[in-house]
Structure 1
């Protein structure tokens, strides 16, 4: 380890400041462009010892768990609370701009749709039983150390106000000292707690969880690795006026404002299309909204999510026909010949993107394509496939729903 003084020139894609040193770039967490910092350096990683010159863009972090001096350790949930809004918003938009440039794509990139504190309705905690009680919080960056939290400015008030309840339920289900995960989703009927990795959940733990949940309010369901332990209420979320009961731990957009913004773009883009395919449809985030206007074919590889979508469609009045298909689109993408039946196609894949599916879309001639992505790099790769086949990118909109992180969503609208 060596100590040296560096000048930070830019932010890297992970949110760390980058300083150019004789031996190559040095990554300095919690620093900002233009700052001069004294760091303890190990290879290409620098830990701030002091800041000699502070950026005017530096902001006071709103959370005591953030930063190198965070209470009980540095929470790894956020990386950019120290950046002012202008710098932070530009950074998020540039993640999309730079990804497109890396593939030689020229596109109109809209201003960032911003995220605000308290909007996160889905949060994944790590928990572990210790001699002093239950640890509940987030892992420190690059570590298995759990930073115990008592509040969280990104999370919804409905989650933060029930941290004590979540901790008690975790204590009732825990059987050993191994860490486990809890996906917490705030639904219309209460919190949906999905535990993963809890070993040897027996009758005693089930009884303890039941007693704990019945003694309090605000918990709709508790599951362990998909098994329902107790469900006083049916968890419900609203997809544009269609009520859906999501599967335990299933994918849901992290914030409703971001979901609504993405859905608005999707619905505007499909326009007067008469038949739409929604690929990687999940539990119906877009399909069920589209069905308010036009018939839709929803394709998804995860059976429980597809069943939730289908059940909601069948039990909602006023929708256009919704058909569903269970299909692994990575192994078996819809072929160009199948896609020709649709006027518009929407796809929202996991972080790996939809490379093979885009090759079939490129051959299909579908008039309108809407690409929704949580990974600008794979989005750019997929868009390059489509533009090479003659599609024109009409607009790309970056959307923030993972506040103070280095993750950004984007929606691209293409036409042919």
Structure 2
């Protein structure tokens, strides 16, 4: 069947329509195809799994990574950088329009290749050794990625350590998930799905961590080795977060988001940072304002507090461990704050945003990794009397469909 791709869907597949069937039963999803391209192939159900490109788009490029055809880590390497940036910006514009909103949306700030400082790889033992890599798209098949263009050189240098962990604590029948983070002290590795942590294995893992220079090794949530604090710099503070704590994917992306947030709340003397994590925004903001940081994970607020106490030249930072989904800060608790920074997870923060709408806080800076829930929450604030002044789009997940943004709201 020959089809013309109409647009990209939210997962990065092109969407085409069989002539005469446009509607609920009409879309056909086609991987690695761009809008406007003419393709030919067999359609099974609602998918054309193996399209032949008859007429390519001017935005089509040769994928730069040798693993692209098999690895599922990237989905848009066949598109030019300009196309991906335009598309991600349009995703944000479309999400806002879905809520009847318009706002100035800036150009996309894209992190360079080889800057992803945190990733989860998978590994298992094989007959001939170890297989370590990412899953193929929509599959349980593991693909080795020794030449991955996403990860920092430091993370790639940790591959021998990860392979050794799989060989020591894995099996041919189970798969390990290995989350590795680039820290100032070296690789910070957390493993899930390995063998039970018996005393002999515990000792062997600790020796392995020492031999490979791992900053910290966590095995199914138990820290088995801590050579040196796996710290990150947040502004002038150095923070050693708990294993598995949230961290922005790239240093460049984090810097772009922090710069936008700081500019948005500049002049505020007292700021509430909601869903504060370990201090990504709170600690840089404390260079200019007093900050009250609220986060549901007590271990992260404790790490934030230690980082603040050890830093020099910061204004007062207080912390509160609180589930903002169940117990949002209410309007009376927000009295006295000149600005609020809010960085919720993908689900957004509907209850907390409604409480913000009932407050008199003059400035709100919102960071989001989901344009759809952001637009919903933005609509709540605007209905409550805020104005959406500006939106910045930040692409930390290069060659993927993931979109992040930050926005400034002022009370009218």
Aligned residue among 276, 279, 284 for 1:281: 276
List structure 1 segments (4+ residues) > 6 angstroms apart after TM superposition.
none
Please tell me whether residue 30 in structure 1 is matched to residue 25 in structure 2.
no
Matching of residue 260 in structure 1 with residue 255 in structure 2: yes
Q: Deviations over 1:144-203 (max 9, x none)?
A: 221122121011011112212221123222256311211110011101001123241222
| Of 160, 164, 167, the match for 1:168 | 164
- Find the aligned partners of 1:81 and 1:245 in 2 and give their Cα distance: 34
**Secondary structure of the equivalent of 2:320?**
strand
Kindly report which structure 2 residues correspond to 1:36-51, keeping only aligned pairs within 5 A, or say none.
36-51=38-53
Structure 1 vs Structure 2 CA RMSD: 1.3
Whole-Å Cα distance in 2 between the matches of residues 188 and 266 of structure 1?
24
Instruction: Identify the match of residue 402 of structure 2 among 384, 395, 407.
Output: 407
Does the alignment pair 1:194 with 2:190?
A: yes
**How many Å separate the matches in 2 of 1:171 and 1:307?**
35
CA shift at 1:322, angstroms?
A: 0.7
Structure 2 unpaired stretches of 5+: none
SS at match of 1:46: coil
SS of the residue aligned with 2:48?
Answer: strand
Given candidates 84, 87, 91, the residue that maps to 2:87 is 91
- Report the alpha carbon displacement of residue 234 of structure 1 after superposing the two structures with TM: 1.2
After TM superposition, give the deviation of residue 361 of structure 1 in Å.
0.2
1:290 matched residue in structure 2:
285
Q: Deviations over 1:300-333 (max 9, x none)?
A: 0011111110111111122111111010000110
Gaps of 5+ in 1: 68-73
Task: Work out the CA distance in 1 between the residues paired with 2:408 and 2:14.
Answer: 32
Cα distance in 2 for residues equivalent to 1:176 and 1:333: 46
Cα deviation, 1:390-409, whole Å, max 9, x if unaligned, reads 10011000100001000011
Is residue 2:153 matched to residue 1:151? no
Q: CA deviation at 1:289?
A: 0.7
Aligned residue number for residue 136 of structure 2: 140
1:71 aligned residue: none
Distance 1:139 1:208 in 2: 28
Q: Report matched runs for 1:13-28 at 5 Å.
A: 13-21=10-18, 22=21, 23-28=25-30
Aligned to 2:111: 115
Which residue in 1 is equivalent to 2:60? Answer: 58
Aligned pair count?
A: 406
Aligned with residue 325 of structure 2, among 330, 334, 338: 330
Q: TM-score by structure 2 length?
A: 0.96
Q: Distance in 2 between matches of 1:249 and 1:194?
A: 7
Query: 2:97 and 2:248 mapped to 1: Cα distance?
Result: 27
Give the match for residue 240 of structure 2.
245
Which residues of 2 match residues 118-133 of structure 1 at below 5 A? 118-133=114-129
CA distance in 2, matches of 1:105, 1:199: 51
Residues 60 and 82 of structure 1 are in contact (CA less than 8 Å); yes or no, is this contact kept in structure 2?
yes
Q: In the TM superposition, what is the alpha-carbon distance from 1:343 to its structure 2 partner?
A: 0.7
